[in-house]
């Protein structure tokens, strides 16, 4: 069954560009010289995370369900593999982020760095509090909070904290994915049997819009409601469900011989572009639109992008296929590693632009002489991030994953994975 699974080169490229866009979303705004226009590039950063969640549901349904819409392996085996895929990325990136945070606070290269520590967090709100009184959002965790959040991170439960993000903020998406994986063996076989997939997708989208509408109607856009909408796994579950339903819809269309023609593809491209342009415009017209766009209004555009990429034909070049696979496999490490890597890159850049020769004799003078980071070196950061995430995936994550599987599934027979399975396992080398 698995060997007959269709291969989607377009989804490999999509995964990579989703990861790259989230990197840009979280870092490009740090350059004052381009802030007048950088928002137009980064305002829809949440589009990337939502699309990735939908894509995860699509790929898992495609790979792990057979033609009868049944799990092709026991739920325990499935969950063990999912855990082995996520945990090395999460723990590796979290430890790196914690080390970088502690190091940056110790070096105190800038006034902002001086306040950095493992205990420092920012409350999540979507109102004017941060503009009127920035200090109201700054919070230093006490001992209990610190260790409580350490426990949450160890067990990949940190997305359930609605007040603030800790240690490695973007890794909340890994926590949410882990919850989605827990639900998959129970919901996917049922969802794939749905006949009226368009109606099911519409109902899912409407349900997804209910929480932001409630928040808009009854709250001042403060906390914890902002954090709940942003990352609570139950609230974000409709995206994962939509991905499974999209897979069911694709299979139905394929079996009926109704896949997209050129006109259909161009229509989807136009629809996606229009949705994104309208969304950027709406974000300038009240904070309520952010909630709606973040949680549901763009769901169909995100699904359309995945459906469009599914139709990209496989190339004749095996080398290009492998290259796309390696880039796609680096997507989740890019989500998890880009913030600490950015901190390391920019602080190193600042020191090198000052008087780095002083660092050997007088570290404080060296730090005091540091320069400023430049937008012109930003492409270097992006390239290094991609390369390091590929190495992290192939040299660290895959090895830890194999060790976990040999420990937790010792009786599992060894076999070569199909391309479809490797797409569902982002850490496997291509």
d(Cα 324, Cα 314) in Å, to the nearest integer?
11
Measured CA to CA, the distance from residue 195 to residue 70 in angstroms comes to 16
pLDDT along the chain (430 residues), means of 10: 68 94 91 83 90 96 91 91 94 93 81 81 88 86 94 96 93 96 95 95 97 94 93 97 96 92 95 95 91 95 96 89 92 93 91 82 80 89 96 94 89 52 48
- φ, ψ for residue 13 (rounded to 5)? -65, -40
**Predicted local distance difference test score (pLDDT) of residue 154:** 95
What is d(CA 406, CA 21) in angstroms, rounded to the nearest whole number? 35
Q: What is the pLDDT of residue 18?
A: 95
Domain positions in the chain: 9-409
Task: Output the pLDDT for position 43.
Answer: 86
Q: How far apart are CA 239 and CA 205, in angstroms?
A: 8
Bond into 46 cis (ω within 30): no
Asked whether 281 and 342 are in contact (CB, 8 A), the reply is no
How far apart CA 162 and CA 224 sit, in angstroms, is: 5
C-beta pairs of 225-229 under 8 Å, 24+ apart in sequence: 225/162, 226/124, 226/125, 226/126, 226/162, 227/124, 227/161, 227/162, 227/163, 227/164, 228/162, 229/291, 229/294, 229/295
Instruction: Tell me the HSE value of 329 on the side-chain side, using a 13 A CA sphere.
Output: 28
Instruction: Please identify which residue in the block is written with the tokens 């109606």.
Output: 199
Residues 60, 78: contact at Cβ < 8 Å?
no
Rounded Cα distance between 321 and 311, Å, is: 15
3-state SS, one letter per residue, for the chain: CHHHCCCCHHHHHHHHHHHHHHHHHHHHHHCHHHHHHHHHHHCCHHHHHHHHHHHHHHHHHHHHECCCCCECCCHHHHHHHHHHHHHHHHHHHHHHHHHHHHHHHHHCCCHHHHCCCCCEEEECCCCCHHHHCHHHHEEECCHHHHHHHHHHHHCCCHHHCCCECCCCHHHHHHHHHHHHHHHHHHHHHHHCCCCCHHHHHHHHHHHHHHHHHHHHHHCCCCCCHHHHHHHCHHHHHHHHHHHHHHHHHHHHHHHCCCCCCHHHHHHHHHHHHHHHHHHHHHCCCCCHHHHHHHHHHCHHHHHHHHHHHHCCCCCCCHHHHHHHHHHHHCHHHHHHHHHHHHHHHHHHHHHHCCCHHHHHCCHHHHHHCCCCCCHHHHHHHHHHHHHHHHHHHHHHHHHHHHHHHHHHCCCCCCCCCCHHHHHHCCCCCC
* pTM over cut 0.85: yes
Measure Cα distances from 413 to 162, 402, 406 in Å: 41, 13, 10
Q: What is the pLDDT of residue 59?
A: 95
Would you state the pLDDT for residue 2? Answer: 39
């Amino acid at each position: 069954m698995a060997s007959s699974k269709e291969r989607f080169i377009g989804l490999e490229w999509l995964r990579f560009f989703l990861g790259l866009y989230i990197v840009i979303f979280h870092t490009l705004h740090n350059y004052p010289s381009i802030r007048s226009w950088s928002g137009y590039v980064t305002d829809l950063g949440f589009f990337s995370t939502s699309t990735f969640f939908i894509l995860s549901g699509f790929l898992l349904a495609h790979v792990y369900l057979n033609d009868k819409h049944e799990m092709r392996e026991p739920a325990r085996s499935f969950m063990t593999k999912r855990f082995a895929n996520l945990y090395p990325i999460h723990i590796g990136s979290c430890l790196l982020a914690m080390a970088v945070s502690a190091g940056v606070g110790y070096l105190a290269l800038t006034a902002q760095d001086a306040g950095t520590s493992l205990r420092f967090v920012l409350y999540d709100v979507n109102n004017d509090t941060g503009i009127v009184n920035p200090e109201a959002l700054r919070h230093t965790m006490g001992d209990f909070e610190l260790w409580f959040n350490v426990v949450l991170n160890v067990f990949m439960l940190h997305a359930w904290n609605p007040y603030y993000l800790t240690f490695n903020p973007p890794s909340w998406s890994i926590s949410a994915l882990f919850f989605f994986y827990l639900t998959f063996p129970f919901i996917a076989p049922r969802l794939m049997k749905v006949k009226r997939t368009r109606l099911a997708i519409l109902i899912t989208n409407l349900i997804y819009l209910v929480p932001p509408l409630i928040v808009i109607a009854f709250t001042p856009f403060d906390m914890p409601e902002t954090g709940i909408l942003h990352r609570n796994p139950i609230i974000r579950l409709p995206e994962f469900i939509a991905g499974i339903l999209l897979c069911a819809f694709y299979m139905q269309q394929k079996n009926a011989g109704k896949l997209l023609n050129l006109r259909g593809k161009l229509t989807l491209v136009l629809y996606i572009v229009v949705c994104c342009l309208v969304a950027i415009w709406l974000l300038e017209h009240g904070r309520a639109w952010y909630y709606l766009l973040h949680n549901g209004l763009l769901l169909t555009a995100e699904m359309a992008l995945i459906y469009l990429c599914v139709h990209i034909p496989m190339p004749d070049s095996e080398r290009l296929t492998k290259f796309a696979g390696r880039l796609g496999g680096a997507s989740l490490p890019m989500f998890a590693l880009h913030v600490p890597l950015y901190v390391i890159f920019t602080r190193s850049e600042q020191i090198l632009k000052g008087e780095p020769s002083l660092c050997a004799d007088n570290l404080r003078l060296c730090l005091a002489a540091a320069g400023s980071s430049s937008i012109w070196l930003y492409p270097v950061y992006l390239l290094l991030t991609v390369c390091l995430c590929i190495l992290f995936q192939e040299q660290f994550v895959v090895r830890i994953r194999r060790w976990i599987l040999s420990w937790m599934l010792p009786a599992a027979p060894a076999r070569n994975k199909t391309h479809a399975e490797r797409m569902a396992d982002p850490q496997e080398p291509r």
